[in-house]
Amino acid sequence: MKTMHLITATAFAAAGLVAAQSAYAYQAGDIYVRGGIAKTEVTDDNGTLDVAGELDISDESHLAYALGYLFHDKWGMELSGAEPVEHQLNTGNLGDIGGVDRMPVNLMVNYYPLGGTGAKVQPYVGAGLNYTRFSDEELDGLDVDESWGAVGQVGVDLAITDYLLAGAFARYADVDADVSVGGTDIGEAEVDPMTVGGVLTFRF
């Protein structure tokens, strides 16, 4: 519900800015860069780590960015990611065990149903591959492995000018990572982040 509220609020706010504007849609050959603020909410059940007990991973806000290219009016490639996001880890038996940085990278194909039509409102859906690297574990001996999985997103961009757009997105990734302490496997962390955000996009 919080995800839908954020997307709706961002979309309506941006719509107010473009009501009196005229702009062109995405089209083949466009390159764009985007950046903004996002919040990641991890799945409620983060798994169990042997002696440590049930794992809880914190939700966090962060900066998000993307680079994209449209090879067709309605189809494009996008490489997206975020600054390293520091999540706090808590376990049922050991309590707070410190933080770990999560850095996601996504490679997706996006579909723009209104691409090439001259519409100021440009919704899109995308799917592809997620790579997530974990680093800077604060607990001595703790190691969280990298993860590969599927990722999907939905979003909307609203044209302010021919080159500047404001928008919002929601993205889900399948992220599960093996966890070890001192080289001994103690379980799997189920992150499965849902990320929502508001962004500005510049296309050229």
Between the CA atoms of 80, 148, 95 and 136, what dihedral angle is there, to the nearest 10 degrees? -60
Q: Please give the full DSSP string across 161-197, using - where no structure is assigned.
A: SSSEEEEEEEEEE--EEEEEETTEEEEEEE---EEEE
Residue 164 confidence (pLDDT) above 80:
yes
| Cβ-contact 133, 106 below 8 angstroms | no
The pLDDT tens digits for 105-133 are 999 999 999 998 888 999 999 999 999 99
16: three-class secondary structure by DSSP: helix
pLDDT at res. 85: 93
Question: Considering the entire predicted model, what is its pTM?
Answer: 0.84
What range defines the domain where residue 89 resides? 2-203
Number of independent structural domains in the chain = 1
Q: Which CATH number characterizes residue 81's domain?
A: 2.40.160.20
**Burial class of residue 77 in the structure, from the number of CB atoms within 10 Å of its CB (0-12 exposed, 13-18 middle, 19+ buried):** middle
Distance linking the first and last C-alpha atoms of the chain: 35
The pLDDT tens digits for 86-98 are 999 988 888 888 8
pLDDT at res. 175: 96
